[in-house]
Amino acid sequence: MNFSKIRKDVAVVGAGMTIFARRLQETGKEMSWEAARMALDEAGLTLNDIDAVIMGSAPDAFDGVHKKGEYLLDGAGGTNKPYMRVYTGGGTAVFAPIAGWWHVASGMFKRVLVVCEEKMSSVQPHAQSAFAHIWDPILDRPLKPNLVWIFAMEMQRYMYKYNVRYEDIALVAVKNKRNAVGHPCAQLADPNITLEDVINSEPMALPVRRLDISPPSDGASAIVLVSEDVAYEHTDTPVWIDGVGWCLDTTMWTNRDLAFPKFLARAARMAYEMAGIKNPRKEIDFAEPYDPFDYKELQHLEGLLLAEPGEAAIMTREGKTQRDGEFPVCPSGGLLGVGNPIAATLGIKIGEVYWQLARKAGPRQVKKDVRTGVAQAWGDLMQFSAVIVMRRR
């Protein structure tokens, strides 16, 4: 990759996020508008100032409408502007801002709005029946799979290969649901949750239990990205996107060792190289890895090269990944605590890293002085990861 060709540095100058919950009253368009408006307000901008709009939203099957990009257009503020929708499953949350980044980094646009929305409650009786359509129709679907199976199988393989204890994995759920107490959008915050609660929660697809999983949710999030030329016109505290990376492994998921996400390590190396990071463990202060399941936080920390394989569980057990620990992980409360409206988790990942680095995270602000953070999301048929490194300068 030739990073010297990148023309403009790109900063986040505003972010917005709706409450994550079962939002039966609002349409996806209305939620998109709420989030977009909040991000613009924080940046002190109006829609007229925006040159282009990126929309991120996961499967059309959730909404039962096609061309979901166009369906959500008006709510995202994309009318009569260069506009595109991107979609990489759960990875959309961090991939949509990467699409926004290249719009600005190319020098073509000065101010870009990135909006991510998900409304999972429309599909009846449960989002699970829409998830059924992601499996291979020839090999997998005749077995009548449930999406949780794939995570259970991956978790089992991860625990086996790296000798990870279930109890240490469950501690991630405890940490994140407690962290989410400080998050005004949170769906499943619980200040009193204990390790026993997670371990004794009902079995889903073992080793996965109820409290190991993030809840389906509705919501929207948005960020405003601007070029270095105008960043300080909008804020004293721009947060810079210094590295981006993304990568997919083969869709033949039964041909891979599921224990370690190599595609993520590739994406991370790309982002670190671009950000000039040589030793990620030393140079990155905190992380918002994608945590739709508790073991995913650990596996993703390892894929992000912030821990050796199997080591993230030990860091968790030792309390290092707590909000006031030496390496805070998911200070937002994560998907496990705040909720998992697929693409809209932009607000928990990129949004949180922005708010932390701009010191606007309120009760969730990490104790240590953080200057460099990394956000990551994961998706498609568990084969994709997107990574963004952000800095306060």
Partner 1 sequence: MSKSQKFGPPLNPRGRRLEAKDLESITHVRAKVPVKYAWAAGTAMSRFLEELKNGRIIGRKCARCDRVLVPPRMFCERCFQPTTEWVYLPGTGVVETFSVSYIDTNANRIKEPILVGTVAFDGAPPHCGIMHYFGEVSPEELKIGMPVEPVWKPKEERVGSVLDIKYFRPRKK
Please give the residues from 66 up to 95 whose contact with partner 1 meets the rule CB under 8 A.
none
Residue 46 interacting with partner 1 (CB under 8 A)? no
Q: Exposed/middle/buried for 97, CB within 10 Å: 0-12, 13-18, 19+?
A: buried
Among 207, 238, 325, 337, binds partner 1 (CB under 8 A): 207
Please give the residues from 12 up to 31 whose contact with partner 1 meets the rule CB under 8 A.
15-19, 21-26, 31
Based on its alpha-carbon atoms, the radius of gyration of the chain, rounded to whole angstroms, reads 19
Cα gap 373→284, rounded to integer Å: 6
The minimum distance between CB 310 and partner 1, in angstroms, equals: 15
Among 10, 11, 12, 38, binds partner 1 (CB under 8 A): 38
Among 86, 171, 208, 307, binds partner 1 (CB under 8 A): 208
Could you give the dihedral angle defined by the CA atoms of residues 262, 2, 111 and 91, in that order, rounded to the nearest 10 degrees? Answer: -10
CA atoms within 13 A on the CB side of 101: 25
Taking the least distance from each CB to partner 1, the nearer of 99 and 208 is 208
Taking the least distance from each CB to partner 1, the nearer of 206 and 319 is 206
Residue tagged 């600005």 (tokens): 104
Region from 67-75, 91-99, 149-157, 377-385 binding partner 1, contact rule CB under 8 A: 149-157
* Residues 226 and 353 sit within 8 Å (Cβ to Cβ): no
Q: β-strand 208-209 against 384-391: which pairing, if any?
A: unpaired
Please give the residues from 285 up to 324 whose contact with partner 1 meets the rule CB under 8 A.
none
Taking the least distance from each CB to partner 1, the nearer of 277 and 345 is 345
The minimum distance between CB 107 and partner 1, in angstroms, equals: 22
The minimum distance between CB 233 and partner 1, in angstroms, equals: 5
Taking the least distance from each CB to partner 1, the nearer of 17 and 336 is 17
Taking the least distance from each CB to partner 1, the nearer of 243 and 292 is 292
Region from 39-47, 83-91, 271-279, 310-318 binding partner 1, contact rule CB under 8 A: 39-47
Residue 199 interacting with partner 1 (CB under 8 A)? no
Among 148, 181, 199, 314, binds partner 1 (CB under 8 A): 148
Among 96, 104, 169, 205, binds partner 1 (CB under 8 A): 205
Cα gap 11→230, rounded to integer Å: 9
Instruction: List b or e across 275-285, with b for residues whose CB sees 16 or more CB atoms inside 10 angstroms.
Output: bebeebeebbb
User: From the CB of residue 288, how many other CB atoms can be counted at a distance below 10 Å?
Assistant: 30
Please give the residues from 127 up to 146 whose contact with partner 1 meets the rule CB under 8 A.
128-129, 132, 137-140, 142-146
Cα gap 341→118, rounded to integer Å: 5
Please give the residues from 90 up to 129 whose contact with partner 1 meets the rule CB under 8 A.
124-126, 128-129
Residue 236 interacting with partner 1 (CB under 8 A)? yes
Among 29, 37, 320, 368, binds partner 1 (CB under 8 A): 37
